[in-house]
Amino acid sequence: MTYAGKMRVIAIEEHYWDPEVSKHFKGYDSGRRGPLTERLYDLDQIRLKEMDEAGIDLQVLSHGAPSLQKMDAETAVGLARGVNDRLHQACRAHPDRFAGFAALPTSDPKAAADELERSVTRLGFKGAMVHGLTNGLFLDDKRFWPIFERARALDVPLYMHPATPHPAVVEAYYKDYIEAYPSILTAGWGFTVETATQAIRLVLSGVFEAYPGLKIILGHLGESLPFSLWRIDQAMSRAGNRGNSFRDTFSAHFWITTSGNFSNPALLCSVMELGIDRIMFSVDWPYVMNGPAVTWLDSVPLSAEDKAKLLHGNVTKLLRL
């Protein structure tokens, strides 16, 4: 691998599963391990071996979808502390290889904000990851703003990760293709639509005016938003709209990562819209393997200076690694 030993590589959307969480979700059962689940439950040998083979120095670990978001408040609050403490143990076992994003019980926003604070100040976590809707609600709903207020106060980013779309959306948009193409619900399209919608709603909600230093990360090269930024910005400025600059708010508060989207045209579009300083490398392991991600880096048409920003410089600054 070209990058092994040549340039520091940090990947920040790298998942694992906590058995105490996954046992609450049908089909995520830890008893039935294939190549994917074996990797998700591994926080040591398999993970480190595959990082070494690809030349990835550090993974910022996060629970896979749907994590604590698709649980009732009581269950999620009861689990959160243990989940984050166990992730902390995994990071402590290999402090030069792993860092952590907290899992938050968003269905109890005050408890989620408190757990974010505990995870950052006591466990050294770098922020938190949130997966899709909570109780059918997008996070721009004002009930969730205590989480954003706390993230702002702690100066840590929140990573907005996809999860399976709302059941009504599944019914209306995707139902008739799920059997032949189950990925239409997830990485094929459903994830993209839902997470891009979450980001747009956050911009429109006024949460960034309320908390001006708030920082949000999107994976998958921004869930298609860099490609659509000009059109969204123009349309939101038309008569009848409130008139804030979508572009200015999005560009000031969002960072994006390359997770699971190793496309040079998409990367160059993102660089042209947001600038290289807003883009960070990620793989999305083990849903996507490290090898193709690192091989792609060879073909990325950026200067050595910009590649260094992409692979470690920007994230080191944002997460204060």
Task: Supply the residues annotated as catalytic.
Answer: 284
- C-alpha span between 65 and 112 (Å, rounded): 17
Residue type, 84: N
- Give the contact letters, 259-288, x = binds to Mn ion (CB under 5 A), - = no: -------------------------x----
Cα dihedral sign for 317, 198, 287, 310? negative
Q: In whole angstroms, give the CA distance from residue 162 to residue 160.
A: 7
Tell me whether residue 234 is exposed, middle or buried, using C-beta atoms within 10 angstroms of its C-beta: 0 to 12, 13 to 18, 19 or more: exposed
Burial class (CB in 10 A: 0-12, 13-18, 19+), 107: buried
Tally of CB atoms within 10 A around 198:
22
6-14, 93-101, 295-303, 313-321 -> range binding Mn ion (CB under 5 A): 6-14
Q: How far is the CB of 303 from Mn ion (least distance, A)?
A: 28
Q: Based on CB atoms, which residue is closest to Mn ion, 195 or 270?
A: 195
Residue whose entry in the numeric block shows the structure tokens 């959160």: 80
The residue whose Cβ lies closest to Mn ion is 284
Q: Which is nearer to Mn ion, 223 or 284 (CB)?
A: 284
Alpha helix stretches (DSSP H) within 62-108? 73-93
- Whole-number minimum distance, CB 11 to Mn ion, in Å? 11
Candidates 10-18, 141-149, 177-185, 296-304; binding stretch for Mn ion (CB under 5 A): 10-18
- What one-character DSSP code corresponds to residue 166? P
- Looking at the Cβ atoms of 13 and 114, the one nearer to Mn ion is 13
Whichever of 40 and 203 has its CB closer to Mn ion, that residue is 40
> CB of residue 20 vs Mn ion: minimum separation in angstroms?
20
Burial of 212 (0-12, 13-18, 19+ CB in 10 A): exposed
CA dihedral 169, 257, 110, 197 (to 10 degrees): -30
Which single residue is written with the structure tokens 């059109």?
231
| H or E element that contains 257 | strand 254-257
- Decide: 169 and 194 in contact? Cβ < 8 Å: yes
Q: Which of residues 11-70 bind Mn ion (CB under 5 A)?
A: 13
* Nearer CB in complex with Mn ion: 140/284: 284
How many amino acids of this chain bind Mn ion (CB under 5 A)? 2
Query: Of the listed pieces 8-16, 30-38, 47-55, 225-233, which binds Mn ion according to CB under 5 A?
Result: 8-16
Nearer to Mn ion, 205 or 261 (CB): 261
**223 contacts Mn ion (rule: CB under 5 A):** no
Q: Cβ closer to Mn ion: 13 or 57? A: 13
Q: How far is the CB of 321 from Mn ion (least distance, A)?
A: 20
CB of 279 to Mn ion, least distance (A): 16
Say which residues have a Cβ less than 8 Å from residue 50's Cβ, sequence separation at least 6: 39, 285, 286, 289, 290
Tokens read off for 265 = 């045209």
State in angstroms the smallest separation of the CB of 282 from Mn ion: 8
DSSP symbols for 255-296 = EEE-TT---HHHHHHHHHHH-GGGEE----TTTS-HHHHHHH
For the bound state, the minimum distance from the C-beta of residue 126 to Mn ion, rounded and expressed in Å, comes to 16
Q: Which residues bind Mn ion (CB under 5 A)?
A: 13, 284
